[in-house]
Amino acid sequence: MPKTYPTPQLVIEDSPTDALAAARAGMRCLGFVPHGTKEGLAQEGAEVFTRMEQVPALIGLPEAVSSAR
């Protein structure tokens, strides 16, 4: 049984091996795939996304204000 932590843990990973390690540790994993395929990350339980700008919404935060304005 994976070890669980007293507070939710979140990692952002870009490889299936790292996503598997996160799953085994009981952590929520966001799988970053800006290019390429998502199958390996998704198979290991990662929530796949393609742009870092998507992270606030994925973790329940209001959208970040762009500093590029």
Q: Is the whole model's pTM more than 0.95, yes or no?
A: no
Three-state SS string over the chain comes to CCCCCCCCCEEEECCHHHHHHHHHCCCEEEEECCCCCCHHHHHCCCEEECCHHHHHHHCCCCCCCCCCC
Q: What is the domain extent for residue 45? A: 10-58
Is 66 a member of any domain? no
Is 41 a member of any domain? yes
pLDDT higher than 60, residue 68: no
Is 63 a member of any domain? no
Give me the number of domains the chain comprises: 1
Is 38 a member of any domain? yes
Is 3 a member of any domain? no
Is 35 a member of any domain? yes
**Digit-coded pLDDT (tens) for 16-59:** 999 999 999 999 999 999 987 788 999 999 999 999 999 999 99
Is 33 a member of any domain? yes
Is 44 a member of any domain? yes
